[in-house]
Structure 1
Amino acid sequence: MDAQPSDAADIPTDESGGFTPQFGETLAVAAIVVDAKSQKAAAFYQHFGFIELPGQPGRWMLSRSHFSGLA
């Protein structure tokens, strides 16, 4: 018998045991933040809509509005 956390039954799953879309839609994510380790990495992130955070060189952010409709 597998041990499961007491609240495991509260997490909606589909027939295969994967999370249902409703569960994924309830995650509260405001942005994705990354640290570019090189100029090439920074250019990569900028190409995909990330913006460099003011006062934090090398730290880039993609707001939720850019990725919320992808799932």
Structure 2
Amino acid sequence: MNTTRHLIRPLVLGLLLTFGSGGYAVAACTPSTYAYCWEQREMCLVNGGLEDECNAEYFDCLSRRGCG
């Protein structure tokens, strides 16, 4: 398991989502929030979930935590 990749990938995606469209950050969106939701997505895939479904769960996770 490449721990660095697992930590950086959701952070980069989170920054793109946070700053990409609106140009401002949402205070509730912390690196640990993105990492937690990304880990949930990875577990979804490991448990046989389809990529589209797991991606949707990732964004739902972020939304439930005020990141969207």
Place the TM-score, normalised by the shorter chain, in its bin: under 0.3
Relative to its length, the structure with more strand (as a share) is 1
Structure (1/2) with the larger helix percentage: 2
TM-score by length of 2: 0.24
Of structures 1 and 2, the larger Rg is shown by: 1
